[in-house]
Structures are given as C-alpha cells and as structure tokens.
C-alpha cells in the first residue's frame, strides 16, 4: 500500500514538472550548472527552483552557464 502511494506521488511530481526536468537535463548536458544566486526575482524564462510561484516568484538557485576564461 505504501509502495503504491510513493509511486503515485513520484508519478504526479514528474508529470507536473516534466518541462522543467527536461529543460534542466538538456542545459546540464550543454554545460550549465546549478548556482546559488541568493534571493532574486525570477525572470520568467530560465530554469530555476522557484519559490512562491503564484504571488511573488523568486529564486535562490538557478541554472547558469559557467563563464569561459
């Protein structure tokens, strides 16, 4: 019973966040890395771990491409 609940929860999580997961994986293959950016307003475009998505979206972690030297 508990196994079915856990599998169902994970399935719903993946289904709800599919676009984010797909984009994050693609960008990580291109060299992007997760970076702590502190409290910033979300730009509405880039993959990020969004907090308070509905009223005042902001991020602390964001996928960024490392600067080449």
- Residue-wise pLDDT tens digits, 7-18: 988 888 888 888
pLDDT in tens, 48-64: 777 876 778 888 888 88
pTM confidence score: 0.62
Start-end of H helices in 1-69: 2-16, 18-29
The rounded distance, in Å, linking the Cα atoms of 39 and 33 is: 18
């Amino acid at each position: 019973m508990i196994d079915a609940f856990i599998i169902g929860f994970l399935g719903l999580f993946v289904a709800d966040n599919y676009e984010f997961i797909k984009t994050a994986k693609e960008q990580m293959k291109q060299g992007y890395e997760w970076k702590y950016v502190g409290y910033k307003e979300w730009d509405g475009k880039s993959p990020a771990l969004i907090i308070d998505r509905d009223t005042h979206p902001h991020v602390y972690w964001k996928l960024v491409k490392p600067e080449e030297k």
